[in-house]
Amino acid sequence: MSKAYVNDERHPDLPPPASTVGAVGWMREHLFSSPANILMTVVSIGLLAYVVPPMVSWLFTSAVWSGGADACRANPDAACWTFVGARFDQFVYGFYEKTERWRVDIMLILLFAGIAALVYEKTPGRKWIGMFMLIGYPILSWIMLLGGDWGTPNISLYNVIVVLLPIVGIALLSYDRLPSARTIGIVLTAFYLLAIALLLGLTAAGKTELWIGSTVIYSLVRLDTIIITLIPFLGLFALTKSGEMERRGTIGIAMLVVFAILVLGFFFDLPAPSSLDMTLVDRVVVVSMVEVPTKQWGGFMLTLVIALTGIVASLPLGVLLALGRRSNMPAIRVLCVVFIEFWRGVPLITVLFMASVMLPLFLPPGVSFDQLLRALIGVALFSAAYMAEVVRGGLQAIPKGQYEGADSLGLTYWQKMRLIILPQALKIVIPGIVNTFIGLFKDTTLVLIIGLFDLLGAVQASIADPNWNAKSVAYTGYVFTAFVFWVCCYGMSQYSRYLERKLHTGHKR
């Protein structure tokens, strides 16, 4: 009798068939799983074999890495990296003053450090760094890059009035019995009518200024004379019309904002009414650096300035516009729709061209804005319109129940948007937002047509140097530009994918 064989321990797992594991298995599954797949694999490998070796040879192995233009002329069928080396500073800084380039370096280092700190999640004080990068950094870079003298303005009669007016306004507003509002309205109406009469009278008399003795008391060309008289008038007129205190608060804040703009306007030396220009206290200069006019800005630095301004300005503006477009208030809705459709309806080239070339034709002589500033405003408004539509898409994707839920909690409009709707809506449209950013980043090259040399412009201008007239120079320059743009855009897109994964909360289908 044979002994019964009983296996008292589990048979060890057999290894999977050799053909399904390791490199072979992977290839069988992914590259050669079906005839179509095999065909595609073979074609792809063939294509790579056809393209990659000459590319590697052109880019690296036979490329010119040292020597001058002669070395490149001698080797016309390979990249001329010495050209990029010789012109690297120009590609980064454009025509920026050579002795002042450390300022750009500092801002670039700050920028990259800031971005790194924001991307890395465990950075202490990340919120504050974010605030700084959004608000402090742009101001700081403007000061650092432009240079010149920065400090307190001259304290003039104008400043005093601009500072005192809102204080008086607040005092009036906080005084809850305001029966004289109607009287104020009448007085101001009379005042403004007088101003208009003066304006018309001067125009009719063919003069631009009204003099008493040797003091100019009213000047036509100073646009803000009119604005200054108009704004408080409008504000207080609105006050007399509205009895509710909450409204008054809003109007008061609006007036404050306008005055703040006027103060800033003086700070940046916009024209002020000359009669008020009397200096009481001389200005105190805090920082003094060599001024580098924006005409000299260029290269990658300019690309970054334009792209980052557009990006930083377009998101908040776009959110506001999107909310405005879905607002229940007809005036705001119409304004936003008109704004968005106007900017979406014109090409960016037109915007830049109008801003840089046509605008000065319509401004009074002597009044001019900085060329770059004009371009920046154009780019920011343009991208804000696109951003608004992207954000609106997100807002529409949020189910109505979310809005109603927020309402039923008794949240105000802004609470509802800030706490419930926007966090969800913005998360949905991250790909769209980043898409707009990337588009904007690449659109910065269009500033070339208004005479600003961004990275591409700097490269193209350098190619024209007859001392670098080798055949490969142009190709090398363009390849370099393409690589820099690819790195930036791919970086943005990778970060957006990471953000999507991080914020993914289970709604993904």
Partner 1 sequence: MKFKTLLAAGAAIAFSTTMASAATLDDVKAAGKIKCGVSQGLPGFSNPDDEGNWSGLDVAFCRAMAAAVLGDSNAVEFTPLSAKVRFTALQSGEIDVLSRNTTWTATRDNSLGLEFVGVNYYDGQGFMVRKDLGVKSATELSGAAVCTNTGTTTELNVADYFRAQGMDYTVVAFEKADEVVAAYDAGRCDVYTTDRSGLAAQRVKLADPEAHVVLPEIISKEPLGPAVRHGDNQWGDIARWTLNAMINAEELGITSANVDEMKGSDNPSIKRLLGTEGSVGADLGLGADWAYNIVKQVGNYGEVYDATVGPNTPLKLDRGVNALWTQGGILYAAPVR
User: Taking CB under 8 A as the rule, does residue 136 contact partner 1?
Assistant: no
User: Taking CB under 8 A as the rule, does residue 275 contact partner 1?
Assistant: no
Single out the residue of 225, 371, 444, 496 in contact with partner 1 (rule: CB under 8 A): 371
Q: Residue holding tokens 């040879």?
A: 57
Q: Which stretch binds partner 1 (CB under 8 A): 242-250, 455-463, 486-494, 497-505?
A: 455-463
User: Taking CB under 8 A as the rule, does residue 184 contact partner 1?
Assistant: no
Please enumerate, as own/partner, the contacts of 102-110 that have beta carbons within 8 Å and a separation of 24 or more: 103/144, 103/145, 103/147, 103/289, 103/292, 104/145, 104/301, 106/144, 107/140, 107/141, 107/144, 107/145, 108/301, 108/304, 110/137, 110/140
User: Taking CB under 8 A as the rule, does residue 54 contact partner 1?
Assistant: no
SS3 content of the chain, % helix, strand, coil (to 5): 70, 5, 20
Q: Which two tokens stand for residue 244?
A: 């509710």
Q: Residue holding tokens 């393209």?
A: 51
Task: Using alpha carbons, select from 72, 23, 24, 22 the residue that is nearest to residue 467.
Answer: 72
User: Taking CB under 8 A as the rule, does residue 431 contact partner 1?
Assistant: no
User: Taking CB under 8 A as the rule, does residue 101 contact partner 1?
Assistant: no
DSSP designation for 33: S
What is the closest distance, in whole angstroms, from the C-beta atom of residue 358 to partner 1 in the complex? 7
User: Taking CB under 8 A as the rule, does residue 466 contact partner 1?
Assistant: yes
- Distance from chain centroid for Cα 346: 19
- 180-197: burial string, b at 16+ Cβ within 10 Å, e else: ebeebbeebeeebeebee
User: Taking CB under 8 A as the rule, does residue 470 contact partner 1?
Assistant: yes
User: Taking CB under 8 A as the rule, does residue 95 contact partner 1?
Assistant: yes
User: Taking CB under 8 A as the rule, does residue 271 contact partner 1?
Assistant: no
Single out the residue of 152, 183, 203, 469 in contact with partner 1 (rule: CB under 8 A): 469
User: Taking CB under 8 A as the rule, does residue 350 contact partner 1?
Assistant: no
Cβ nearer to partner 1, comparing 319 with 447: 447
Paired residues of 94 in beta bridges: 297
Q: Which stretch binds partner 1 (CB under 8 A): 52-60, 116-124, 200-208, 359-367?
A: 359-367
Single out the residue of 25, 130, 293, 431 in contact with partner 1 (rule: CB under 8 A): 293
For the chain, the maximum distance between any two Cα atoms, rounded to a whole number of angstroms, is: 139
DSSP states of 307-319: HHHHHHHHHHHHH
User: Taking CB under 8 A as the rule, does residue 465 contact partner 1?
Assistant: yes
**CA of 390: how far to CAs of 270, 315, 425, 490, in Å?**
35, 10, 10, 20
What is the closest distance, in whole angstroms, from the C-beta atom of residue 313 to partner 1 in the complex? 25
What is the per-residue binding string for partner 1 in 295-334, x denoting contact by CB under 8 A?
x---------------------------------------
Q: Which stretch binds partner 1 (CB under 8 A): 174-182, 312-320, 381-389, 448-456?
A: 448-456
What is the closest distance, in whole angstroms, from the C-beta atom of residue 321 to partner 1 in the complex? 30
Count of residues in contact with partner 1, rule CB under 8 A = 41
User: Taking CB under 8 A as the rule, does residue 449 contact partner 1?
Assistant: yes
Q: How far apart are CA 479 and CA 347, in angstroms?
A: 27
Please enumerate, as own/partner, the contacts of 356-359 that have beta carbons within 8 Å and a separation of 24 or more: 356/450, 356/451, 357/450
Q: Which stretch binds partner 1 (CB under 8 A): 150-158, 224-232, 321-329, 446-454?
A: 446-454
User: Taking CB under 8 A as the rule, does residue 500 contact partner 1?
Assistant: no
Q: How far apart are CA 287 and CA 297, in angstroms?
A: 20
What is the closest distance, in whole angstroms, from the C-beta atom of residue 54 to partner 1 in the complex? 16
What is the closest distance, in whole angstroms, from the C-beta atom of residue 460 to partner 1 in the complex? 6
Which residues are at the interface with partner 1 (CB under 8 A)?
73, 76, 86-87, 89-90, 94-95, 98, 293, 295, 353, 356-358, 360-362, 364-366, 368, 371, 448-451, 453, 457, 460-467, 469-471, 474
